[in-house]
Amino acid sequence: MPEQDKFEDDLLYALTRTGEAFRPEQADQAGMVAGGYQRGRRRWRSRSAAAVVGGAAALALVGTGAVYLTGSGSPSGTATLAAASTGAASGSTGTSAALTPASTGTPTPKAVSGDEVLAAFQALLPKGQVTDGKGTGTEPAAGKPGGGGNAGATLLFDDGKGKAAMGISLTRLAPNDPNRAQNACPDKKLVPYDACTSTSVPGGGSLTVLQGYEYPDKRATTKWWNAKLIGQDGRQVELSEWNSPAEKGAPDSRPTPPLSPDQLRAIVTDKSWDPVIAAIPEPKPVPVRDTSREYSGQEILQNVAALLPSGLTETEAMGSGFGYANFVLDDGKGKSMVQLNVQDWSGDRGDSLFGDARTLPDGTKVVVRHGSDKPGVGMWTVDTLHPDGLRVVISSFNSGTQTSPATRKAPVLTDDQMQTIAAAPVWKLRK
């Protein structure tokens, strides 16, 4: 599976590489179409349907509110960009008024131009030089009716300590979008970072601020800091900054990105974004994959705990939504991360994936793969398709995380032990 263009994509790759052809959830597909940051399955970098324009990343992650916001628009529905709140650039907490849903039935405000979005972004920045600014507004695309589904701006900012790339993305999530509930600090076994906070916001919603790296495996030293707000009204405002003049491929220009975590928080929660969010069309409900016949992350962990070889116990366990879980095993010779994907494949028999599979007496198909992402780090995988169409994929690493150096020569679990877990009769599609 090729590596994607961003942190979201890196995490998407990390979560799905055990089953390289796992079907992404349809909600995730919508996120991929909306813009390609970390798209697909259950990753934190579920950047939501808003593409950052220009050179900074397209910020869209899984998902894509159903309530129009009045912002500062007039009763007739016209909207002008609100003046930036004083103190936002200096790191104040901003205002939470932007998070309060407006009454329904308000006419859609007029479109906001890319120049207006860029100007609003610049007004919220601290003192410094801005160059290479580009903005995308909510105007209809050429030849197409209706406004855009997202807005954003990118620029280079220099406070005298070195140029830094920045990008902000704004979009709206449908009421049933799973991404509304996926705004928390990521699992460090999957995504290393220096600091992260996730808090609720007044009026409902969540705000996560992460200080991490452009590449989870730190193959480059470029830092990536990000704030993501998901409001109760469905808004998603996401701001990214780097300590480099480019997201990728440029040497670091400064030790850290210019904006502090408090400044990131202040910008994404500022009321200046009200009219932009209000001008984004109401998103349609996203198609959500039926998980009623599958297993939650916690159920996966419970099943596996009873199947582990004697003497091994799950530690650092994480179960995410439906279909994914991971944990760490240690037999005294070094940590080994294990992850599982469990998904309903009853509508797709996976002939292309299991054409060369061994078939067990009960009809379960089994494929074994050994791979490596980088020298010395191995990933052993057993991929199974049960007779009822439930696909269970288990991978074991010779490291305690997916990004850290190897801690042992081989994973804790052997191929036979992983097959015992993945092909166990406990895995059955629910009626």
Confidence of residue 76 (pLDDT cuts 50, 70, 90): very low
- pLDDT > 70? residue 11: no
- pLDDT > 80? residue 405: yes
Burial of 264 (C-beta count, 10 Å sphere; 0-12/13-18/19+): buried
Q: 159 versus 191: which is more confidently predicted?
A: 159
Q: Residues 393-402: what's their mean pLDDT?
A: 94
In this prediction, residue 334 carries a pLDDT of 94
Q: Residues 315-323: what's their mean pLDDT?
A: 87
- pLDDT > 70? residue 52: no
Q: For 213-262, what is each residue's pLDDT tens digit?
A: 998 878 889 999 999 999 999 999 999 999 999 999 899 999 999 999 99
In this prediction, residue 102 carries a pLDDT of 38
In this prediction, residue 82 carries a pLDDT of 36
**Cβ neighbours of residue 116 under 8 Å, at least 6 residues apart?**
81, 135, 137, 276
SS (H, E, C) 46-110: CCCCCCCCCCCCCCCCCCCCCCCCCCCCCCCCCCCCCCCCCCCCCCCCCCCHHHCCCCCCCCCCC
Q: Residues 41-59: what's their mean pLDDT?
A: 27
Assess contact for 95 and 269: CB atoms under 8 A.
yes
Confidence of residue 363 (pLDDT cuts 50, 70, 90): very high
Give the span between the Cα atoms of 116 and 80, in whole angstroms: 9
- pLDDT > 70? residue 367: yes
- pLDDT > 90? residue 79: no
In this prediction, residue 375 carries a pLDDT of 64
- The full set of domains in the chain, from first to last, is 7-279 (no CATH), 297-422 (3.40.1000)
Q: Residues 270-287: what's their mean pLDDT?
A: 93
In this prediction, residue 142 carries a pLDDT of 59
Q: 45 versus 206: which is more confidently predicted?
A: 206
Q: 368 versus 352: which is more confidently predicted?
A: 368
Q: What does residue 420 show for φ and ψ, rounded to 5 degrees?
A: -60, -40
- pLDDT > 50? residue 77: no
In this prediction, residue 287 carries a pLDDT of 87
For residue 429, how many other CB atoms are within 10 A of its CB?
A: 16
CA 309 vs. chain centroid, Å, equals 33
Report which DSSP code applies to 322.
B
Q: For 171-201, what is each residue's pLDDT tens digit?
A: 999 999 988 888 999 998 888 899 999 999 9
In this prediction, residue 144 carries a pLDDT of 56
**Cβ neighbours of residue 360 under 8 Å, at least 6 residues apart?**
366, 423
Confidence of residue 66 (pLDDT cuts 50, 70, 90): very low
- pLDDT > 70? residue 58: no
Q: For 301-312, what is each residue's pLDDT tens digit?
A: 999 999 999 999
Q: For 113-147, what is each residue's pLDDT tens digit?
A: 999 999 999 999 999 999 999 999 998 765 555 55
In this prediction, residue 159 carries a pLDDT of 97
In this prediction, residue 349 carries a pLDDT of 63
In this prediction, residue 147 carries a pLDDT of 57
In this prediction, residue 65 carries a pLDDT of 23
